[in-house]
Amino acid sequence: MDTNSGTRREDPPVPEYEQHVQDLDGDKVNIVTEQNDPVTRAEALDPPCTHDVQEAQRLERATAARLIKARKLSLVVDLDQTLVHATTSSLVDSWFIENKPASESLCKEMDIHRVILEDDESGIPHYIKLRNTVHGFLERISKKFELHIYTMGSHSYGLAVARLLDPTGTFFFDRIELSRIFPCEDAMVLILDDRSDVWTHSPNLIHVRPCMGIDLL
């Protein structure tokens, strides 16, 4: 109800469902997609120019229309310690090099990948451990949500991890976000992350346990 005008404000015609989704460790996560409060976005962002605002609004409307037609919501999925655990530790790299070929076999068994980013002139490798059951999780969740990757790293890092998680481009396509500005209105967005403080404890957040693993090597 709009208390100022006395008229009833209609919710957007999105699917209304309450669904239990199997999370990445096999626990149940209750997702409620009705009456979510607005997401509190990061305030430490440079104010956009008028052209950028207009373009963002146009894209937001187009995205909302596409999601409504597909009867989906948007799920913003964090990478680091949510879907993967990554490190650039020189100790891990030394261990990997000094213990070949046993280290290669162990990394294959544990789903750990050695990646050098395309635009990284330092050539320092990233060791990226995929979370257990992540491929099955993405397969299931993509049927209900349009998936977007969120990363605090570079675009090339997000792209490299996306290729590991989704080599055919079926789930994410090119939807890699480097900011916490969402692709559509807050009511149509959920977030999957191991950290709640990043999103100022938003009610739209699905909080999962951190993914760790490489430190065990």
Give 84-110 pLDDT, tens digit per residue.
999 999 999 999 999 999 999 999 999
Using the Cα atoms of residue 180, residue 9, residue 142 and residue 200 in order, give the sign of their dihedral: positive
pLDDT for residue 71: 84
Residue 19 has pLDDT above 70, yes or no: no
Q: Reply yes or no on whether 80 is catalytic.
A: yes
Q: Which of the following is catalytic: 11, 23, 52, 78? A: 78
- 3-state secondary structure (DSSP) of residue 70: helix
Identify whether residues 173 and 112 lie together within a single domain: no
- In contact, 128 and 53? CB cutoff 8 Å: no
Catalytic residue (one of 80, 193, 194, 215): 80
- Round to whole Å and give the CA distance between 195 and 111: 23
Q: Say yes or no: 200 and 135 in one domain.
A: yes
Tell me the pTM.
Answer: 0.70
d(CA 191, CA 6) in angstroms, rounded, equals: 32
Amino acid residing at 92: V
Domain that holds residue 157: 27-39+63-84+130-216
Question: Rounded CA gap, 164 and 134, in Å?
Answer: 11
- Model confidence at 55, pLDDT cuts 50, 70, 90, reads confident
Q: Which residues contact 72 (CB under 8 A, 6 or more apart)?
A: 15, 144, 145, 146
The total number of structural domains in the chain stands at 2
Predicted confidence (pLDDT) at residue 37 exceeds the cutoff of 60: no
Q: Considering only 9-13, 49-53, 115-119, 174-178, which range has the smallest mean pLDDT?
A: 9-13
Q: Confirm whether 56 is domain-assigned.
A: no
CB contact at 8 A, 2 and 8: yes
**Both 141 and 165 in a single domain?**
yes
Residue 14 lies in a domain: no
Between residues 201 and 82, the one the model is more confident about: 82
**Percentage of the chain surpassing pLDDT 90?**
41
What is the rounded distance in angstroms from the CA atom of residue 189 to the CA atom of residue 72? 10
Over range 123-145, report the average pLDDT.
93
**Once rounded to an integer, what is the mean pLDDT over residues 175-193?**
75
Shared domain for 74 and 113, answered yes or no, is no
What's the pLDDT tens digit per position in 135-179?
A: 999 999 999 999 999 998 888 999 999 999 999 999 998 888 777
